[in-house]
Structures are given as C-alpha cells and as structure tokens.
Chains A and B, each alone.
Chain A
Amino acid sequence: MYTQAMDVGPKEERKALRSAEEAQLEQRFDERIDAGGLIEAKDWMPDHYRKTLVRQISQHAHSEIVGMLPEGNWVTRAPTLKRKTILLAKIQDEAGHGLYLYSAAETLGVSRDELLAALHSGKAKYSSIFNYPTLTWADVGVIGWLVDGAAIMNQVPLTRCSYAPYARAMVRICREESFHQRQGFDALNVMMREGTPAQRDMVQDAVNRWWWPSLMMFGPPDAESVHGTQSTRWGIKRISNDDLRQKFIDATAQQADVLGVSLPDPLLKWNEARGHYDFGPIDWAEFWRVVGGHGACNQERLAARVKAWDDGAWVREAALAHARKQHTKEQAA
C-alpha cells in the first residue's frame, strides 16, 4: 500500500546557498541527476533534497504501517481460513514495507524514534485513504484491487527514483504488491461469480465508496501540486499525478467490466480521440478535509498506533535490558 500524501506537506522555502563551494556542489549534484545518476546515502546532497526525501519516505512508511489497521479489522471475520491466511500474509507484507521504508529514511540521518514521534504527534502525514472505514468484507477485496492497484501505479516509477536506498526498497515492495492486488481482485471475482445477489450488491457498494478516494491517492492535480516540480527536477518523481491517475483509470475501467461492477462516475467514458477514458470532477474539498484530519477514522487510526507504541514500550525496554545483561555477562566471562 502507499501514500499520496507525499505531495502534501508544509511549504518550505529553499534557503539561499551559503557559499560558492556549496553552489559548486549543488551544480555537480544537478549534473549527476541530469545524467540519470543515482544518489547514495553518504553522497553530498542539497539540504532540501534530503528534507524532501525524509518527508516523502517517512510518509510512505507511515502509510504502510497505518494501512494495516483497516485490513486488520477483518482478520477475525474473514469468510474462510484461506482468505484469512491470505489477509494475514498481506498485512505482514505491509508491516515489512513500512520497515524497509523506515530504514531507507534513516539512511538520510533521521532516527526511527524521531520518525515515529512525528507520526504519533500528528505532525507527519500518512495516506488519507486509510482514514476511510472498512465496513464489509468486500472492502478488503476492493482495497486490494483499487487501493493497492493505485499504489502500484504510483510506486513503480519510484523504483527509478534518484535516491538509491529508496529505489531499492521500492523494487522489493513492488514485487510483493502484485500479490496484494491480485488477491483482492480474486476475492471480489469469487463473490461476483459465485456469490448471492446480496454479496454482489456488497461488492458494488464497496466499489462505490472506494472509487473516488482511490483516485485521490495520486495527489492533487498537477496545477496545484506543491512539491511536484522540484521533485521532478530531482528525479524523485518521474510521472506526474494527473498522468498516473489517468493510467490507473484506463486500466481499472476495463477490469471493472471483467468483474461486472460499475464505477460510480456517470461521466466515465472512453474517448477515442484522446485514447483515454474521460472522467468526472474529483471532490478535492473532501480530499483536503480528510488530509486535514476530518475523515471518518483519522482519530481512531492515530489512536490505535499510539496505543500500540505505548503498550509495546515494556517489551522494547525488556528486550534491551536483556541484551545489555547478556552483554555484561559475556564481558565478564
């Protein structure tokens, strides 16, 4: 899973360069980026590049971690043992993705504790898609199909990101993400093919609720994107929000036909001249409302993370105390 909120953050003014030496370093850095070069953790990088990446990678990590919560809601109520084991494996993957990404962010000189503190205080964002509730079992399938589908669209270009530790984490994540999307489609497909009318309605209802939030995952329109231009300049962002969104809609509209569900957009229509689907206006006011903390589950999600962290404190402390004790014993021996 993944974040759109990467494009959402406080607007930071770029500081004026301090010295001629720094200007030269930055010029060399820009040339390297232009030549398609990759940046490693210990390489010189502009302060703003570092900050942008810390924000983006940590928001991405937070999204993976928070993303476990809507699905976790259905672990004990999955309809069969097969679906339950699949769901557990998927949720474990999300935890893994969060951990790869936290590690990548830490290579930039920020600590895990600082990153988590920023999430827990509400300072750092995570993808607003996870602030929507999972009301039925069909939501779990739709999250796989649409939410993870949108995530894959977003994440594949990140495997070519100029910051190599992030790009490497993304390669690993993308490889695993495909399972997430396919299992979601499969779960829905079974309900549509073999289910009762009520189950089919349930699938349609879930699609209706998740369609627009999924489109919002690609972030604000290019014209309004705060960080887009600079991120593109630096090779962090390779494809624009609007282009990715269009690509997702084109792919998904056909999958919806195969599944036998309709997408809740009366203006959705194939445009032969453009070679793309046209689609209706997105309610950006809703997007900003949810990003701003007023979605259905913002408080619940954050509270669950803070509680897990606080409740786990004694385990972290005990493990560390044990390690120190063993270490002292070995020293003495």
Chain B
Amino acid sequence: MNTPTAKNEWPLWEVFVRPKAGLEHKHCGSLHAPDAKMALQMAREVYARRQEGTSIWVLPSSQITASDPGDKDMYFDPMEDKVYRHPTFYELPQAVDHM
C-alpha cells in the first residue's frame, strides 16, 4: 500500500494499460494522485481518452524495484553466447526442419 508522504505533492503512480483483451498490460506513463482510487480515475482521463485500453493497473512508483542500468552488461550480455537457447541453433534434416 502506498503511504501518502508528508510532502504536499500527491504521490507518483505508474500506469499500465491492457490495449485489448488477450494482450498483456503495458506501461504507458505515470501520474500524480492522492490515492489508488483517484489514480485509476485519472489514468482513464489521461491515458485512455480514445479507447486505448480495456483494463488499467496503477501502482505506486515507489513500490517498483528495478535493475540497475549500470549492471546491464553483467545482467544481460552473458546470454549472447548461449546460442543453444535458440531453436535456430539446431540444424535438422530437411524432412523435419519445419519442427
């Protein structure tokens, strides 16, 4: 739960919208709101004025834990030499290559 801060500024929320049924929610921006209910209402006004979505999530920005961009190489680059994780790594006989 988001703790309203001592500051006078309304807390920041991240907004996620599901563009249409069957798709995942996607981050689309942020906004300030006093509480979750208002954040949801405002998200609709700010980010879904033209039927951009069928569902909205809001969550307090302070609750997000993110990877450090400084660690990007350490985190993601080792995967580059793990080519065997991709289907294209395997050369199969022509007869079954549509597998």
* A319 near B68: Cβ-Cβ < 8 Å: no
The answer to the question of B3 belonging to the interface, with a C-beta cut-off of 8 Å to chain A, is: yes
Known: A96-B49, A112-B9, A113-B8. A323 touches B34 (CB 8 A): yes
Closest to A165 in B: B29
Interface residues of B in 3-22 (CB under 8 A from A): 3-4, 8-10, 12
Whether A316 and B8, one on each chain, are in contact in the complex, defined by CB atoms closer than 8 angstroms, is yes
Whether B66 is near chain A, meaning CB under 8 Å from some CB there, is yes
From 27 to 63 in chain A, residues with beta carbon under 8 angstroms from any chain B beta carbon are 40, 42-44
Does residue A145 face the partner (Cβ distance < 8 Å to B)? no
Which size bracket describes the interface of B in this complex?
20 to 34
Tell me how many residues of A have a C-beta within 8 Å of chain B.
29
Q: Tell me, in angstroms, the Cα distance from A113 to B7 when the chains sit together.
A: 10
Find chain B residues with CB under 8 A from A100 CB.
29, 46
Q: Are B9 and A113 in contact (CB under 8 A)?
A: yes
What are the residues of chain A within 8 A of B2 when measuring CB–CB? 327
A residues less than 8 Å from B4 (CB atoms) = 320, 323-324, 327
Q: Which residues does chain B contribute within 8 Å of A106, judged by CB atoms? A: 12, 30
B69 in contact with A320 (CB, 8 Å): no
Q: Does B25 have its Cβ within 8 Å of any Cβ on chain A?
A: no
Query: How many residue pairs bridge A and B at CB < 8 Å?
Result: 60
Which of these, B38, B47, B66, contacts A319 with CB under 8 Å? B38
- B-side contacts of A43, CB under 8 Å: 69
Decide if B8 touches A103 in the complex (CB within 8 Å). no
How far, in whole Å, are A89 and B45 apart by their CA atoms in the complex?
Answer: 11
Q: How far apart are A169's CB and chain B's nearest CB, in angstroms?
A: 7
Please give, as numbers and ranges, the residues of chain A lying within 8 Å of B56 by CB-CB distance.
Answer: none
Is the Cβ of A320 less than 8 Å from the Cβ of B10? yes
Of B1, B34, B70, the contact of A320 (CB 8 Å cutoff): B34
Over the window 112-129 of chain A, the binary record of Cβ atoms lying under 8 Å from chain B Cβ atoms (1 yes, 0 no) is 110000000000000000
Q: Is the interface of A mostly helix, strand, loop or mixed?
A: helix
> Which B51-74 residues sit within 8 Å CB-CB of chain A?
66, 68-70
Asked whether, in the complex, the Cβ of B68 is within 8 Å of the Cβ of A42, the reply is yes
B32 touches A112 (CB 8 A): yes
The reply to whether A103 and B31 form a contact with Cβ atoms under 8 Å apart is yes
Q: A233 at the A/B interface (Cβ < 8 Å)?
A: no
Q: Is the CB of A330 within 8 A of B32?
A: no
- Chain B residues lying within 8 Å of A113, measured Cβ to Cβ, are 8-9
A299 within 8 A of B: no
- Determine which of B3, B8, B47 lies in contact with A327 in the assembled complex, contact meaning CB atoms within 8 Å: B3
CA distance A310 to B38 in the complex (A): 21
Let me know if A244 is at the binding interface, CB within 8 A: no
Interface contact B8-A40, CB-CB below 8 Å: no
- B contact residues vs A (CB 8 Å cutoff): 1-4, 8-10, 12, 28-32, 34-35, 38, 45-47, 49-50, 66, 68-70
- Identify the 3 closest CB pairs spanning chains A and B, nearest first: A323-B35, A319-B34, A323-B34
Known: A319-B34, A324-B4; 11 extra A-B contacts, CB below 8 A, are A92-B45, A96-B47, A99-B31, A106-B30, A113-B9, A169-B29, A176-B50, A319-B10, A320-B4, A320-B10, A322-B34
